[in-house]
Amino acid sequence: MKLEERKKKIEALRAKGLTYEKIGEQFGITKERIRQILTFKVEYCERHKRKFIGTCIYCKTEDEYVKKVKSILRENIFDQIFLLIPHTRKREVVMKRSAVIRALKDNYHFKFSEIAKLMERDLSTIKYLYKKQWTR
């Protein structure tokens, strides 16, 4: 359902006197979300090319993700990860990248998708590097 369409339906239910909670149950969302939908106007996120009410969930997720990364990794490690980002196939660098991926996954319980985003790589590349056995 389009956002504007959903908003109209919610407004109609509200006009009938339904509580935020009852409306929320019908749409499978929280009463807080209903309040947001009724209070805020539909906006457009340029960054994610989508309409939203209240907060763009993708922007919010990205911000929370960055916070998560910053909070669990010491700053120097955080900087090191970014040094590993340049697209190079130099064995040494790829080995380090592989080690960082394992640390993020095994020690910090990051999802592969989160690591992929952090390192700006495809999910398949991250999975491959996670599993890769390096022989000297």
Residues forming contacts to Zn ion in the complex (CB under 5 A) are 45, 47-48, 56, 58-59
One-letter amino acid identity for 19? Answer: T
Closer of 43 and 79 to Zn ion (Cβ): 43
CB distance 20 to 31 below 8 Å: yes
d(CA 130, CA 133): 9
Chain centroid to Cα 94, Å, comes to 25
Supply 103's token pair.
Answer: 């640390």
Pick the closer one to Zn ion by CB: 47 or 91.
47
* Rounded least distance, CB 117 to Zn ion, Å: 14
Q: For Zn ion, which residue has the nearest CB?
A: 56
Nearest distance, CB of residue 62 and Zn ion, angstroms: 8
| 28: its two tokens | 């499978």
CB 43 → Zn ion: shortest distance, Å?
A: 10
